[in-house]
Amino acid sequence: MTLMARSIEKMLTDPRVWERIEKHSMPEPNTGCVLWIGHVDKDGYAKMTGPRFHYKRVAVTVSKLVLSKKLGFVCDEPALHKCDVSCCVAEEHLYNGSYAQNYADMIDRGRRVIARDNFGKYTNV
């Protein structure tokens, strides 16, 4: 089990964690997204500090934590967003998928820039 998964396992039953999530997120009524207003990583994903394990802490992805609560087990796969809003932590917008599916979704939505065309425009190949 990864340190991230162990952290999630511990955080699932800690009411203070869920208070923190509530405090650091804001519902967006038009889309149903719940936007994270706390710390985000370089890709815009919601992060929070996990519990300490032998002097080590990892930053836990909040969407993974929320998805684990929804599923009822620790999700160690990527938490995918139906809404494509990376900082969204709405339970209903999250589902789990394999890394392959994650990659396919990324290509589908044109998020991955692979090449530039003759006019210097970014395109997906």
Q: Is 79 in the site for Zn ion (CB under 5 A)?
A: no
Judged by CB under 5 A, the residue of 83, 86, 97, 101 near Zn ion is 83
Contact 50, 7 (CB under 8 A): yes
Size of the site for Zn ion (CB under 5 A): 6
Stretch that binds Zn ion, among 5-13, 17-25, 30-38, 58-66 (CB under 5 A): 30-38
Nearest Cα neighbor of 82 from 91, 69, 71 is 91
Site string for Zn ion, 47-76 (x = CB under 5 A): ------------------------------
Q: Contact region for Zn ion (CB under 5 A) — 19-27, 60-68, 88-96, 101-109? A: 88-96
